[in-house]
Chain A
Amino acid sequence: MNLRKTAKGIYALWYREFKVFTRERSRIVSSIFLPLFWYFVFGGSVGTIASIGVNYQYFIFPGFLAMTIIFNAMFNGAYVVWDKKIDFLKEVLITPLPRTTIFMGKVAGGLTDSVLQAGLLLLIGLVLGIPFTPASFLLTVVMLVALAVGLVSLGLIIGSMMESPEGFGLVSSFAVYPLFLLSGALYPLDKLPAWMKILTHADPATYAVDGLRSIIVGISSLSFAANFGIVIAFDVVLIMLGAYAFKRMKL
């Protein structure tokens, strides 16, 4: 299997995922609506009582970018389950493509899908007056991509192990809500009890949110570079686990 064939295989799967994505407008709308809704309700209400030294809405905006990535990236795993239900997955697995290539293609597709949606929210953020500089805007996109790679992989791992869409929904929501709520998206993590703090360290979104905050509102526990490095480390582990899960996946 040479590099050109691998690239073509990844492109093939990306092509399909992207076409499907562009035809699911209702999903795109709802995936943007939810974070915006939280942003205004939470930002407008809790913001009035929160005293964290900066504008609360600016503070939680990175959290909602991460939220968009978490929800949409994980959701991609559901496609694997649907593809099992129809025989589309067999059609893919019976091609000469190695499972690893198939996995990478799915990651590429899910990545595009979730980053484009977070990108829309990012543009809305500009309109809402979130104080971006050209440099911080660019770094934000880079961080969102890094976060999405790991979480798409996680979604695909869960999808590869599930037989039914219901099962996927159940298991993925067990992952999605802790990933979101423990990431510090809504509140500073230093006020959490110690045992819970430990859990937040196991959440890649924690580092993405902290990193984004460091460049958007200027408060964070780690530097952008340190946070980015940790997210990439999560990516590497999750990609390896994902490739393994796809190799083991049964029909």
Chain B
Amino acid sequence: MDAIVINGLTKTYGGLTVVDSLNLAVRKGEIFGLLGPNGAGKTTTLMMLSTLLKPSAGSAAVNGFDVVREPGKVRSSIGMVFQDPSSDEVLSGYENLKLHALMYDVPSDRIDRKIDDVLDLVELKDRKNDVVKKYSGGMRRRLELARGLLHEPEVLFLDEPTLGLDPQTREHIWEYIEDLARKLGMTVIVTTHYMEEADKLCDRVAIIDEGKIVALDAPEALKKSLGGDRVLISGRSLKLDDLAKLPYVTKVEPLDGGRARLTIADAGRNLQELLRVTGELDLVEVHPSDLNDVFLHFTGRQIREEAGGVMEQLRVMTQARQNDRH
């Protein structure tokens, strides 16, 4: 059975179509990535799947429940880790989790044990009585991850779970997610614009651009579909026409300064052979294709992490100031 089935899901604001006739099925137990730049419609999609936003058209079912007709049942069966901090920083970690457990009707005699269990998972047990204000960004994110797991949801949504965290913490968070998902057999839907992370973690990814899915497959398959890895070469007497005739060379792009960029299927195996044909070269650079290339291929644009990064930083800072209320 599929955990999530989406049919023609659409969201428009005024004349602006943010999510455009999305069709998608996510299998049970899968770690599924929604990739795309900021504003591609990832978060809006999650908001509709979690019943916080009403679709303008189309339908979606989560765990077999329709998001419009059975929102209560959908909400009982899902967990969500939001993009922005969503815990009360005046309360302790324990108190935030207790509040959550009460709202999800976790049986009272099991609340404290469950809280200890999830805090163990994210290694926050020794800080459970500290108010969240004293937590670092990474700890807060881990707390919210623990909170999302507390009521044992069948589907867990993670909206940019590593945004604004340092690389080390990011890696830790991904490890937790992967570990938990495999251990508990949960379906995980994660949005991110960190392509390398999605590559490592996700069973399948959908690349979303301007509200539409432009590619959908396992990361490996998507990379393979590009026709190979890119190899940058430079030499005094390159015979590009000859190179283009080689069976494993799928693309040849001449560059200035006697350089050329080749696309080569399975560069790891065919590079030796290629070098024999070209003779002596001044330079050889192999770039194994990654999801950024996939994104570039399907959208014609680079996913701009840097620009996004700065804007996100600003947003996180503004948010932090607004939170500073007590």
Contact = CB atoms under 8 A, between A and B. Distances in A.
Interface in B83-99: 83-88, 90-91, 95, 98-99
A95 B75 contact: yes
A5 B72 CA distance: 13
A97 B326 CA distance: 27
Interface string B182-216: 00000000000000000000000000000000000
Contacts of B82: 87, 90-91
Nearest to B80: A94
Given A15-B98, A85-B322, A96-B76, A20 B103 contact: no
B103 A97 contact: yes
Interface in A7-39: 8-9, 11-13, 15-16, 19-20, 23-24
A8 B102 contact: yes
B72 A9 contact: no
B102 A251 contact: no
Given A15-B99, A24-B326, A97-B103, A91 B87 contact: yes
A11 B83 CA distance: 27
A15 B102 contact: yes
A88 interface: yes
Given A9-B102, A12-B102, A15-B102, A20 B88 contact: yes
User: Dominant SS at the A interface?
Assistant: helix
B85 A16 contact: no
A137 interface: no
Contacts of B76: 96
A85 B323 contact: yes
Contact of A88 (B51, B53, B86, B104): B86
A79 to B, nearest CB: 10
B319 interface: yes
B325 A9 contact: no
Most chain A beta carbons < 10 A, residue from B76, B90, B95: B90
Interface string A62-100: 000000000000000000001001111011111111100
A19 B91 contact: yes
A98 B83 CA distance: 23
A16 B91 contact: yes
Nearest to B319: A86
B105 interface: yes
Contacts of B91: 16, 19-20
A11 B53 CA distance: 26
16 contacts: A1-B72, A9-B103, A12-B99, A16-B88, A24-B326, A85-B319, A86-B322, A87-B85, A87-B86, A88-B86, A91-B87, A94-B52, A96-B76, A98-B72, A251-B47, A251-B53
Given A85-B319, A86-B84, A95-B100, 8 more contacts: A9-B102, A15-B98, A19-B90, A87-B85, A88-B88, A91-B80, A96-B103, A251-B47
